[in-house]
Amino acid sequence: MTHVAIYARVSTDRQDHERQIRELEEFVSEEYPDASVERFADIISGTNDEGGAEYRRLREAIVDGEVDIVVVHELSRLSRLGGGEIHNFLQHALEHETSVRDLEVGLDLDVDDSMVDQAVTRMIAGLLGDLARIEQTQKVRRIQSGVDAAQEAGKWTGRPPTGFEVVDGHLRVDSEEYLRVRAGIERIAAGESIANVADDVGVAASTLRELYNDRAELYLRGEADDDRVDAALEDVRPLSEPAAEPVEDLNKRLRQLEQKVKNLD
């Protein structure tokens, strides 16, 4: 009996790897009607350079002699694991007497092919991988260029900080949430436990701990290094003096005041 492995790889859980699997299974049922079929499917970042767990499992199955033919949707996607990964995979398959078929462009690397045919197939596959990698790089650059342009125009990209929201592309303070977080940080600074405060202010304890440790100044005094955040804070200024501050922040402020006094002298 012929043993066929089908491999699918998508970049995010929003992409439909089931569609790839379905198309691959339909192809296998027509080409190898009596074969046994095993699925290998990865959902990993397009920039992941180590491959997915299923990809590694597929390579191990090939070594163990459990696979006669590998059918993939797009062999070129393996180029994202590095410039030579397509060649490495094809060589790995051939060394263990495993054929490879690419559904997207119809590449067929068979263990019974002549060395010349195998070399030509590997060369074509490598070229397709190079083209796919170039296309991916250009896509990332276009996305980054768009993000940079939006930020230069004062627009916010990505998830807003806790207590803020994005309106028409610009950062705005969600006054109610911002002030709740501020009150929570004051209470933690005064000695209350993060768990108790988190329940009261409606913010996850892990998030509140991060805000307290890394962004206390943003909430206690409305101070921000990012001009877009600073502009949004105008909606809640002026802020009253905080009822309590983290000890480290107080020590830092004392050192700053001492330095200012020295500078005046």
**Tens digit of pLDDT for each residue in 38-62?**
998 887 655 555 568 888 999 999 9
Beta strand ranges found along the chain (DSSP E) = 3-10, 36-43, 69-72, 99-102, 108-109, 164-167, 170-173
Contact (Cβ atoms closer than 8 angstroms) between residue 71 and residue 21: no
Q: What is the pLDDT of residues 5-34, one digit of tens each?
A: 998 887 765 556 678 888 888 988 998 898
What pLDDT band is residue 140 in, cutting at 50, 70 and 90?
low
pTM to 2 decimal places: 0.46
> Cβ neighbours of residue 89 under 8 Å, at least 6 residues apart?
59, 75, 78, 100
pLDDT class of 148 with cuts at 50, 70, 90: low
Measured CA to CA, the distance from residue 253 to residue 83 in angstroms comes to 52
Which of the 8 DSSP states describes residue 97?
T
Which tens digits make up the pLDDT trace of 152-164? 666 887 889 999 9
Strongest mean pLDDT among 77-81, 105-109, 212-216: 212-216
CA 13 to chain centre: 11
198-247 residue pLDDT tens: 988 888 999 999 999 888 989 998 988 888 898 899 888 888 888 888 87
Q: What is the pLDDT of residue 219?
A: 93
User: Reduced to 3 states, what is the DSSP secondary structure of residue 247?
Assistant: helix
For residues 73 and 17, the answer to whether their CB atoms sit within 8 Å is no
| 130 Cβ contact list (under 8 Å, min separation 6) | 79, 83
Tell which residue, 13, 137, 129, has the closest CA to residue 72: 129
The helix or strand, by DSSP H or E, that contains position 183, with its residue range, turns out to be: helix 175-189
